[in-house]
Amino acid sequence: MVDDRRLAVLRAIVEDYVSTNEPVGSKALAERHNLGVSPATIRNDMAVLEEQGYIAQPHTSAGRVPTDKGYRLFVDRLSQVKPLSGAERRAIESFLAGAVDIDDVVTRTVRLLAQLTRQVAVVQYPTLTHSTVRHVELVPLSERRLMFVLITNTGRVEQRVVELPEVVDETRVAHLRATLNASLDGCGLTEVPDRVADLPSRLPTEDRPLAATILSVLLESLVERHDEKIVFAGAANLAGADLSVGLRDVLEALEEQVVLMRLLGETSDLSALTVRIGSENPYTGLQGTSIVVAGYGSGDKQLARLGVLGPTRMDYPVTMGAVRAVARYVSQILAAS
């Protein structure tokens, strides 16, 4: 009973603070929310909440502000993800449906999410780890050069130019192409190294150096692209917000692929929404910000993650709703293509 009310007070504090951006006092709370008790009682509850570390006061004679721990409790137990409105859902759907290729899907998604949440959106390209080879193509560019193109089932295309050790005619290229496709078609990218390991030995002796060159490029491109690409949008939305730390640090972090990677990657559970609040984030420079992350993917496999980053003082229910919805729609689009 008493405990319940105390939680209600915490919820009210979070909600008010998020919407007004001002420390909230006992009197205002008693007025705006009908908690059925007097300001004095609320003050007592607040003292306890502060004792327990859920709220804090900026100055002695100011109202209370939620701490990271307070937000955490709010997100875990006091709030419900808020679904999007019908209009918003339709807008998402039609906006994403127009995408022509994987690049386009990612670009549209990140912009959409930024606009929807009015925060910084972050989207990771579908990882190659769970993709399979759809086709390998060798395109002669000149006598001693060819372009190597790898197409995956997620629509991603990797290409490399290969300098050849010798002059090679079209017939030999065709043969190699056929052999490569035969051994790799449908094969998961992680298995590729195994599959091609013995390939040179299955070829005529004179083709082996050629095959070796191409394979080394192939393997290299797999390794290299393993560190995934991440894009963001909506940096302008940070301009107004008051991050406790400087805006500069946040922008710098956003441009560091590595930081972004870990930001999205270090979430434990892929199928649910992950929220990391303020100091829960290991990176200084991102103190004062929170992130909401969801996994997405085609079919039942989670391929990558997307999310938004904003000030700790954000509207979690709404943001979580938007992230979850966008993740679902993107998954849908990818599954269909």
Partner DNA sequence: TCTGGCACTCTGTGTTCCCGAGTGCCAAGT
Partner DNA sequence: ACTTGGCACTCGGGAACACAGAGTGCCAGA
Residues that bind DNA (CB under 7 A): 2, 5, 23-28, 36-41, 43-44, 46-47, 50, 57, 59-64
Q: Which does 46 bind (CB under 5 to 8 A by kind): DNA, a second copy, none?
A: DNA
Closest to a second copy by CB, 7 vs 157, is 157
Pinpoint the alpha helices (H) of 185-313: 192-197, 208-224, 236-240, 247-255, 257-265
Amino acid residing at 129 = T
Place of tokens 């990612």: 106
Could you say whether residue 97 binds a second copy (CB under 8 A)?
no
Could you say whether residue 240 binds a second copy (CB under 8 A)?
yes
Of 103, 24, 11, residue with least CA distance to 54: 11
Place of tokens 């006091």: 78
Site for a second copy in 250-289 (CB under 8 A): 251-252, 254-255
Closest to DNA by CB, 18 vs 253, is 18
Nearest-angstrom CA–CA distance, 193 and 198: 10
Closest to DNA by CB, 71 vs 125, is 71
Nearest-angstrom CA–CA distance, 196 and 194: 6
Least CB distance to a second copy at residue 247 (A): 5
Closest to DNA by CB, 62 vs 178, is 62
Coil, strand, or helix at residue 113? helix
Nearest-angstrom CA–CA distance, 3 and 337: 51
Residue 226, φ and ψ in degrees, nearest 5? -65, -35
Least CB distance to DNA at residue 276 (A): 28
- Do the Cβ atoms of 297 and 100 come closer than 8 Å? no
Least CB distance to a second copy at residue 55 (A): 30
Site for a second copy in 209-238 (CB under 8 A): 221, 224, 233-236, 238
**Number of residues counted as binding a second copy (CB under 8 A):** 34
Could you say whether residue 100 binds a second copy (CB under 8 A)?
yes
Could you say whether residue 244 binds a second copy (CB under 8 A)?
no
Of 281, 244, 242, residue with least CA distance to 264: 281
Could you say whether residue 337 binds a second copy (CB under 8 A)?
yes
Percentage helix, strand, coil, to 5, in the chain?
A: 50, 20, 30
218 membership: H or E segment, kind and range: helix 208-224
Least CB distance to a second copy at residue 41 (A): 42
Pinpoint the alpha helices (H) of 57-124: 68-73, 86-97, 102-117
Binding mask of the shown chain, residues 128 to 157, with x at each position contacting a second copy by CB under 8 A: ------xx-x-xxx-----x-x-x---x-x
Coil, strand, or helix at residue 231? strand
Least CB distance to DNA at residue 18 (A): 15
Contact residues toward a second copy (CB under 8 A) are 100-101, 134-135, 137, 139-141, 147, 149, 151, 155, 157, 159-161, 221, 224, 233-236, 238-240, 246-249, 251-252, 254-255, 337
